[in-house]
Chain A
Amino acid sequence: MQKKLTLGFFFTLFLCTTFLPIVWMFGNSVYEEGKFSFVYYKDIFLTQKYGKVIANSLILASITTIVSSFIGVPAGFFLVKITLPFKKYFKICFFIPLIIPSYIIGIAWVNLLGKTGFLNNVFSQYTLLSPESISDFIYSTYGASFILSINLFPVVMLVTEYALKSINPRLEESGLVAGSVFQVFRQITFPLIAPAILSSMMIVFVLSLSEFGVPSLLQINVLTTQIFTQFSAFYNEKAATSIAFPLIAITLVLIILEQIYLRGKSFEILGRSSSNSTIQYNITWLNVVGITFCIFIQIVCVIIPLSTLIFNTKTISAYYDAILLARNGITNSILFGSIGATFLTFIGFFLGYLSENIRSRFKSSAAIFIWLFFAVPATVIGVGLIKLCNRPEGIFQFIYGSLWIVIIGYVARFLPLSSRIMANYLKQIPHSMEEAGTVTGTSWFRVLVNILLPLQGYGLIATWLICFMFCVGELGTTILVYPPGHETLPITLFTIMANSPTDIVSALSIIIVVMTLLPVGVFLAVSKYLIKFQTAQ
């Protein structure tokens, strides 16, 4: 009963924050002049107009997912499995591309690979490529995928890293006694982390599918730019919402395919051993490959965009001016981001449990249902929230006029994400652990606090970190709902971008990186201490 009530409460919370505003918008889009009408949907499904746009979106998302995985999985693997020097430094650095807004990374790369860009000059001098072909590449769907891969690979990396850390080392140890490192990785390690990797790939796919900033900068015709055009050029929210429908349909197909792939497979592992260690492969050539790989990725994904920003900043006074501009945004971002990430992790845990750990025939439909809404673009959610929450009644005025509307915006956008990440970590805990607690007559809350939560230490940290970074970088929904005086850093950045000197914009981008990394560092340190403390107990 305790369990049912708790899960019911969190599912209702999901319905109120994420489901309602989106369904409100879709409901509105099929209601025209007092009667039901599918006029906007006919355009999408019965004309050729959107075929190319949908294809572009799929190409963009597919390439981004493949490239992100090729970077993220090895990066996560090397961070955990080899003796990498400056490991912490690499780890923190690999977060940076996720923190810098994709639009800013886009501008940095367009500057470098554009016709007069530094790297364009280098490549065109020393390779057979012409300056035009390099410039054409960066302004193409492939260029957009390249930029988005740099931006999103940390998601795959982080999920892979924590999945590897969650594996009980005894499983690998016993494998190593009988076989080689390759065999252990192929037959034990990889199959155990496969659902987590697949899940992160799905996250990257859906994120790139619903990305607007980079396609807009490079003028790539995808579903999100079409949605934006309907909203902003035609002020037609019904048409805009209807164009978001293919995004949901694509996500539905993907998640069904994933469910088919995972059906019948078991990913349960016995949780962490008390030794709190992770097996590392101390093989010289693997170390060399790992270090070379990490340095290369560091240069392409971190040093190049970051040094472009630092180079553009030119003077120290630019940082001072940027801090003056962003004072309010810094405090708000950290506060809202922390609250948002905490709520998302907390609610995400229970929704993840609902969609993964309960023995119920509804569990797979719950997972599909929750995840579907992740592909809905930020603008649709933002307008939906205004329609729902901007009402003259007291409680609504309180929410709409305070930081809570921003937090609700974060929850609406990222709850499917946090619940999915949590679900994949929960997949690794066998039901028997919980059942063992329950048969002793202990209450479900106690089982939760003493068994499930401690076993999910790494999962909770990974979820909080990813949610925090996404919340701090959120723009699309926040810009539509934030009350005056509650602007966040991305809003400050994008409001000054139009006509502020380049040095201030670059300085502000660097401040965003530092201000996001600081709490991330503190959180990592505190959580590490907590996990050690818990394991010791």
Chain B
Amino acid sequence: MKFISIIFTALLLSVKVCSAGNEVVVYTSEDKIFSEPVLQAFEKKTGIKVRAIYDTEETKSTGLANRLIAEKDNPQADVFWSGEPVRPVLLKIKGLTTPYVSNAAADIPKIYKDTEGHWTGFSARARIILYNSNLVSMDERPLSIFDLAKPMWRGQVAIANPLFGTTSVHMAALFIILGDEKAKKFMNDLKANGVKIVSSNSEVRRLVARGEVKVGITDTDDANVAVREGSAVKIVYPDESGIGTLIMPNMVCLIKNSPNQENGKKLIDYLVSSEVEKSLAFAMCAQMPVRHYVGTPADVLTIAAIKGMDINYQDVAVKLDKISEFLKQWAGY
């Protein structure tokens, strides 16, 4: 019994308790491999200790949003850095965020900022078509996502479950651009054409890279990883002559009643800076800066070089809520 008491006391004494000090707590659904260096750079620059929690592939980047909602009455996080533009809007709707307009974001185009200051967008990804270049020639490659419903791609297309992550954002954007009826018809045609619904965008990348399907719809960062690993894949920015490609910025927001508001604001100032945009453009994720003047490597397209879909992210979040039941049925859930 004595032995147990000694062990128990020793354990209690050795506990590291997360106490408030010169620190900031950030929850991020941006992939750890890309977000961690940025947060470390902030730490080095400001001396403010960053305590980060990252999301996982298995929870499809929605685990943290759930955690933020569950912690609503006693928030632990100061900042939420989202890898896509819908979850912060959702948190705003649920009353979890507080407005903060960062001076550092003054030169970010208006379409990437909330009019009420709840969220600010920076470095973006795009929804693209990834094809296996051993199985599909340049001439055959699909140039529009609508091509994927054609018979020549029967059983050869992969897409992540549209209920989650950036695929859900993409589908909601299509419903806004096309209208409900046309969008439903496209999705039903896609399903009738034997589209393979898989668990995540990285699974789409894996199937295309291994040649198990010829093409897939995924994000630029997933595609770039496959390209840099030397897989036989190529990227198409779809619908350049039509509805355009969906651009999805990272988004950052300040959590209401969080313990380190001032440090949270400093972190937001840093994340939306051109310095971070540049570093994310040169990282393996090759994200596109939303500021036109920030330089990118030669093989990374600038946002100006792509025809982006004309959408409002607030509308996308609202639309997603409305079409979720359809998406659930479509995915067979």
Q: Which residues of A contact B (CB under 8 A)?
A: 103, 111, 114-116, 135, 212-213, 216-219, 221, 225-226, 229, 231-235, 237, 339, 379, 383, 386-387, 390-392, 398, 400-404, 475, 479-480, 482-487, 491, 494-502
CB distance from B217 to the nearest CB of A (A): 16
Task: Name which of B57-65, B101-109, B248-256, B308-316 contacts chain A.
Answer: B57-65
CB distance from B153 to the nearest CB of A (A): 16
Query: Known contacts being A482-B53, A495-B54, is A403 close to B66, with CB within 8 Å?
Result: no
CB distance from A402 to the nearest CB of B (A): 5
CB distance from B230 to the nearest CB of A (A): 10
B16 and A402 within 8 A (CB): yes
Report A-chain residues with C-beta under 8 Å of the C-beta of B133.
Answer: none
Report A-chain residues with C-beta under 8 Å of the C-beta of B212.
Answer: 114-116, 135
Query: Known contacts being A233-B168, A390-B71, A496-B33, is A485 close to B65, with CB within 8 Å?
Result: no
Measured CA separation A486–B18 after assembly (Å):
10
CB distance from A246 to the nearest CB of B (A): 16
B239 within 8 A of A: no
Report B-chain residues with C-beta under 8 Å of the C-beta of A485.
Answer: 16, 18, 51
CB distance from B225 to the nearest CB of A (A): 5
B333 within 8 A of A: yes
A-B contact pairs, 10 of them (CB 8 A): A103-B58, A114-B210, A225-B333, A233-B324, A485-B16, A495-B32, A495-B55, A498-B33, A499-B33, A500-B31
Q: Which residue of A lies closest to B213 (CB)?
A: A115
B199 and A216 within 8 A (CB): yes
The 3 closest A-B pairs by CB, nearest first: A484-B51, A494-B56, A401-B18
B277 within 8 A of A: no
Report B-chain residues with C-beta under 8 Å of the C-beta of A213.
Answer: 58
B52 within 8 A of A: yes
A498 and B57 within 8 A (CB): yes
B90 and A235 within 8 A (CB): yes
Per a CB cutoff under 8 Å, which of B74, B90, B203 touches A390?
Answer: B74
Report A-chain residues with C-beta under 8 Å of the C-beta of B284.
Answer: 499
Contacts beyond the supplied A494-B58, A498-B57, A498-B222: 9 A-B pairs with Cβ under 8 Å? A232-B63, A386-B67, A390-B71, A390-B76, A404-B15, A475-B58, A486-B16, A500-B31, A500-B33
Measured CA separation A479–B59 after assembly (Å):
9
Report A-chain residues with C-beta under 8 Å of the C-beta of B76.
Answer: 390, 400, 483
Per-residue CB contact flags for chain B residues 304-333 toward chain A (1 = under 8 Å, else 0) read 000000000000000000001001100011
Q: Which residue of A lies closest to B54 (CB)?
A: A495
Per-residue CB contact flags for chain B residues 220-233 toward chain A (1 = under 8 Å, else 0) read 01100100010000
Measured CA separation A233–B65 after assembly (Å):
10
Measured CA separation A330–B168 after assembly (Å):
34
Among A379, A391, A401, the most chain B Cβ lie within 10 Å of the Cβ of A401
A501 and B74 within 8 A (CB): no
B74 and A391 within 8 A (CB): yes
Report B-chain residues with C-beta under 8 Å of the C-beta of A483.
Answer: 18, 51, 76
Report A-chain residues with C-beta under 8 Å of the C-beta of B295.
Answer: none
CB distance from B56 to the nearest CB of A (A): 4
Query: Known contacts being A213-B58, A401-B19, is A479 close to B71, with CB within 8 Å?
Result: no
Q: Which residue of B lies closest to A106 (CB)?
A: B199
B163 within 8 A of A: yes
Report B-chain residues with C-beta under 8 Å of the C-beta of A229.
Answer: 163, 328, 333
CB distance from B100 to the nearest CB of A (A): 21
Per a CB cutoff under 8 Å, which of B58, B66, B161 touches A480?
Answer: B66
B328 and A233 within 8 A (CB): yes
Per a CB cutoff under 8 Å, which of A103, A226, A390, A499 touches B333?
Answer: A226
B146 within 8 A of A: no
CB distance from B51 to the nearest CB of A (A): 3
A235 and B69 within 8 A (CB): yes
Report B-chain residues with C-beta under 8 Å of the C-beta of A392.
Answer: 74
Q: Which of B43-88 contact A (CB under 8 A)?
A: 51-60, 62-63, 65-67, 69-71, 73-74, 76
CB distance from B302 to the nearest CB of A (A): 21
Query: Known contacts being A386-B67, A480-B66, is A497 close to B202, with CB within 8 Å?
Result: yes
A480 and B70 within 8 A (CB): yes
CB distance from B31 to the nearest CB of A (A): 5
A475 and B66 within 8 A (CB): no
A216 and B15 within 8 A (CB): no
Measured CA separation A502–B228 after assembly (Å):
12
CB distance from B164 to the nearest CB of A (A): 6
Report A-chain residues with C-beta under 8 Å of the C-beta of B65.
Answer: 232, 235
Measured CA separation A479–B201 after assembly (Å):
21
B197 within 8 A of A: yes
Query: Known contacts being A114-B212, A233-B324, A390-B76, is A219 close to B63, with CB within 8 Å?
Result: no
CB distance from A52 to the nearest CB of B (A): 10
B138 within 8 A of A: no
CB distance from B1 to the nearest CB of A (A): 8
A497 and B163 within 8 A (CB): no
Q: Which of B171-230 contact A (CB under 8 A)?
A: 197-203, 207, 210-212, 221-222, 225, 229
Measured CA separation A216–B74 after assembly (Å):
31
Measured CA separation A482–B51 after assembly (Å):
12
A232 and B18 within 8 A (CB): no
B89 within 8 A of A: no
Measured CA separation A479–B164 after assembly (Å):
18
B288 within 8 A of A: no
Per a CB cutoff under 8 Å, which of A379, A475, A484, A499 touches B202?
Answer: A499
Measured CA separation A401–B62 after assembly (Å):
22
Measured CA separation A402–B70 after assembly (Å):
18
Measured CA separation A84–B271 after assembly (Å):
60
Per a CB cutoff under 8 Å, which of B71, B164, B198, B229 touches A232?
Answer: B164
B149 within 8 A of A: no
B285 within 8 A of A: yes
Report A-chain residues with C-beta under 8 Å of the C-beta of B52.
Answer: 484
Per a CB cutoff under 8 Å, which of A219, A235, A502 touches B197?
Answer: A219
Per a CB cutoff under 8 Å, which of A135, A486, A494 touches B57?
Answer: A494
Report B-chain residues with C-beta under 8 Å of the C-beta of A495.
Answer: 31-32, 54-57
A499 and B225 within 8 A (CB): yes
Per a CB cutoff under 8 Å, which of A226, A235, A387, A401 touches B17?
Answer: A401
Query: Known contacts being A391-B74, A498-B202, A501-B229, is A216 close to B58, with CB within 8 Å?
Result: yes
A403 and B15 within 8 A (CB): yes
Among A103, A111, A496, the most chain B Cβ lie within 10 Å of the Cβ of A496
Measured CA separation A502–B60 after assembly (Å):
18
Query: Known contacts being A498-B31, A498-B202, is A233 close to B67, with CB within 8 Å?
Result: no
CB distance from B280 to the nearest CB of A (A): 12
Measured CA separation A499–B83 after assembly (Å):
13
Q: Which residue of A lies closest to B212 (CB)?
A: A115
CB distance from A231 to the nearest CB of B (A): 6
